Structure 1
C-alpha cells in the first residue's frame, strides 16, 4: 500500500477545515493572547520602541526571495506527491492550492515589508518630533539663562533705574518660567540684604530700587491664587533694611529675619509663624492681626509697635523690648507673659493697653501656650 493511500484526500482535508476551522483558529488565538499578556507583564521595554529598524541588506533580500521560492516548490512537490496521483481534477486542485500558498506567502512578505516601512516612517516622525521638542526646550533654557544673566548684571549697575528694570525683568522671568521662582526670590532677598545707607541723592534712587524689590516680594508672597510663588526654602532677609516697607499679609513662614530692620513697617495680618526675628528692629511696626506663633523674638525691639490682635502663642520673647507697645484684649500672649504685660501696661479710653516705656521681657520667662 502506498504512503499516499494512508493519507486523507485533499478534498476531505479541505472539507474538514471548512467545518472545523474554529478548532484550529481558537487555540492559535488563545496562545497569541497568552504570549502578549506575558510580554506586557514582563515590564521590559519593546525594542522596536527604542531603536530604528535596520535597512534590509542585499543578502536579506536574496535569502527572503529564496525562501519564498523554496516554499512554492515544496508546496507544489508535496501536494502533487500526496494528492496528485488521482484524477486530473485532483492534480489541478493541488497545483491551484500550491499556487495559492505561494501567492499567500508572497502577500505575507509584502505585508510584512509594508508594516516595516510604516513602522520606520512612524519612528522617524517620532524622532523628528522629539528632536524638535528638545531643540525648542534648549532654546527656551538658553533664553531663560540669558535673561537671568543680563538681569543679574544690571542689578550691579550704577544707574538706579537700571536696577529697577532688572528687578522687574526677573519678576517677568519668574512668571514665565515657574521653575526659576526660587532663584528669583533668592536674588531679590539677596539684593535687599545688601548694605543700605541714607546718603544724599543716591539714597533716594536706591530707595526706589529697594521699594521695587520689596513690592515684588510682597506681591508674590501674600494673598491667594496663581500670583503666589511657593518656594522650597524659607526666605532669608537677615540684616535687610526694610524700613517703612509695606508687607501687609505677607507669608514668611519659617523666614530668617534675624537683625532685620522693620522699623515702621506694615506687617498687618502677616504670617510669620516659626520665623526667626532675633535682634530684629520692629520699632513702631504695625502688627495688628499678625501671626507670630512659635516665632523667635528674643532681644527684638518692639517699642511703640501695634500688637492689637497679634498671635504670639508659644513665641519666645525673652529680652524683647516692649516699651510703648500697644495691645488689646484680642492679643494672644504666651502663658505667663500676659500677666506681666498687663501689670506693666495702662489701659486707654478705647479699651486698649499701652506698655510703659523701657519695659523689657524678663530673660527668665518660660514659653508656654496661652489657654485663656
Structure 2
C-alpha cells in the first residue's frame, strides 16, 4: 500500500539505538579477540607485542567505524525526516492554496450567477415594461381608429404607423389591422371616410418601397374583399398580395412594382396600370373585371399568368414579356386590345376567348405553342410580322372582321380546322391555308 505525505512518522525506540551500540561493541570485541589470538601465535616476544598493539588499534578502528556508520545512518534518517516534513508542509500549503482558490472561484461564480440573475430580472422587467407600453400604445391607436370622428381615425392611423416604424416586430400586426380596416365596408357617400381610407392605403404603400428608408420588408397584404380608392402601389415590392374580390375605384397602379410569391388580383378595377411591372410572382387575374382602360405595357412577368374568365374594356400588353405559360381562356376583351411586340417564351392559351373590338398581335413572338381554338374575333385581327416558333392552333375560331397574317413567320403550318371568317372583307392568311366559301356570309378554313 502506497504511503501518503500526511502519514504519521514512527518514533525510533530507545532500545534500537542501544542494540546498535551493543552490536558495534560486540563486533569490535570479536575482531579484537580474533586479532589478539593471531598475535599470540608469534614466537618472538617483541613481535607479539607489536602485533597485539596493532590488533587493539584495529579493533578500536572497527568499533569507531561501526559507530560512525551508525551515526551516519542516524544523520541520513534525520535528513530524510526533514525533507519529508518539508514536502508535507509544501503539500499542505498547496492544498490550502487550492482550497482557497476553490473557495474564491466558488464565491466569484456565486457572485457572477447572482449578477446574471439580477441582469435577467432587470431585462425581464424592462421587457415587460416595454411590452406593456407597446400594448397600451397599440390599444390606444386601435381605439382611435375606431372612433366616430374622421380626424381622430386619421390620428389613429398615424399612431399605428409610428408604432410600426419604431418597432419592427409589430409591423405584421399593424399591417394586418390596416388591411382589416380597408376590408370593412365603408359608409355610403362619406367624403371624410374616403379620405381616411386613402390615408390608410398610403400608409401601407409608403412602407413597401425597397429603395426607401422606411421600407418594411416581408410585409404581406391581405386586401381580399376590400374597398380601395386610387390604390397606388407603383414602385412597391409586393410579396404574396391578395386583392381577390376587392373593388378598386379610380386608377389602381402597380406600375414599376416588383412582385414575388403570389399576386392574386381577381378584383374589379375601374382603371389599372401595370406598366413595367417585373418579378417572378405567379399572377392570378382569374375572374378579374376591368371596367376602364388597363395597361400592361413592358411588363416582365417571370411567373405564370392566369387570366381565365376575366373581362377587359380596353387593354394593352404592348412590349410585355411572359416567361412562363400565360392563359386567357374564356376571357372577354370588350374594346381595343393590343399585344404588339409582346413575347411569349412559353405557351399561350386563348381558347374560348372573345375579342369584341380590334385586336393586334403585330410583331408578337410566340416561342412555344399558341392556342386560339374556339376564340371569337369580332373586329379586325392583325398578326402582321408575328413570329410563330411553335405550333399554332386556330381550330373552330371565328373571325368577324378583317384578318391579316401579312409577313408573319410560321415554323409550321397552323391548324385551322373549321375556323370561319366573314366573306365580306379581304383577308391575308398564312401560306398554304385552304379557304373555302361556306355560304354568302362565311368562309371556312380547312386543314389539308
Query: Is the TM-score greater than 0.5?
Result: yes
Q: Does 1:252 align with 2:238?
A: yes
Larger strand proportion, structure 1 or 2? 2
Change in 2 beyond 3 A, CA 1:80/1:218: farther
Distance 1:299 1:140, change over 3 A: same
| CA deviation after TM superposition for structure 1 residue 253, in Å | 3.5
What corresponds to 1:266 in structure 2? Answer: 253
Contact 2:296–2:320 at 8 Å: present in 1 too? no
| Structure 1 contact 324–358 (Cα < 8 Å) conserved | no
Shift of 1:329: 3.6
- Hey, what's the Cα distance between the residues in 1 that align with 2:321 and 2:187? 35
Name 2:204's counterpart in structure 1: 217
Quick one: distance in 2 between partners of 1:259 and 1:112?
A: 72
- The residue number in structure 1 matching 2:299 is 310
Please state how far the C-alpha of 1:221 moved relative to its aligned partner: 1.9
How many Å apart are 1:193 and its aligned residue?
Answer: 0.8
Answer whether contact 1:323 1:358 (CA < 8 A) is retained. no
Instruction: Specify the alignment match of 1:301 in structure 2.
Output: 289
Report if the CA contact (8 A) 2:336-2:357 is conserved: no
Cα gap change, 1:267 to 1:197, in 2 (>3 Å): farther
Structure 2 residue matching 1:282: 3-state secondary structure: strand
Larger RCO (CA within 8 A; separation ≥ 6): 1
Aligned to 1:207: 194
Output aligned runs, 1:21-100, within 5 Å.
74-75=6-7, 77-78=8-9, 86-87=74-75, 88-100=78-90
What is the CA deviation profile of residues 69-126 of structure 1, one whole-angstrom value per residue up to 9, with x for unaligned ones?
xx99x44x23867xxx833555444444444443333333223222222222222222
Residue ranges of structure 1 left out of the alignment (5+ in a row): 1-6, 8-70
The aligned counterpart of 1:239 is 225
Asked if the contact 2:284–2:305 (Cα under 8 Å) also holds between the matched residues in 1, the reply is yes
Counterpart in 2 of 1:103? 93
Tell me the SS of whatever aligns to 1:284: strand
Deviations 1:5-55 (A, max 9, x none): xx9xxxxxxxxxxxxxxxxxxxxxxxxxxxxxxxxxxxxxxxxxxxxxxxx
> How far apart in 2 are the matches of 1:174 and 1:219?
12
Aligned position for 2:122: 132
Residue 166 of structure 2 corresponds to residue 176 of structure 1: yes
Larger gyration radius, structure 1 or structure 2 = 2
Pick the aligned partner of 1:141 from 123, 131, 140.
131
Give the structure with the higher percent helix: 1
Structure 2 unaligned runs (5+)? 13-72, 343-354, 360-371, 376-387, 391-448
TM-score, with structure 2 as normaliser? 0.53
RMSD, aligned α-carbons: 4.0
2:273 corresponds to: 286
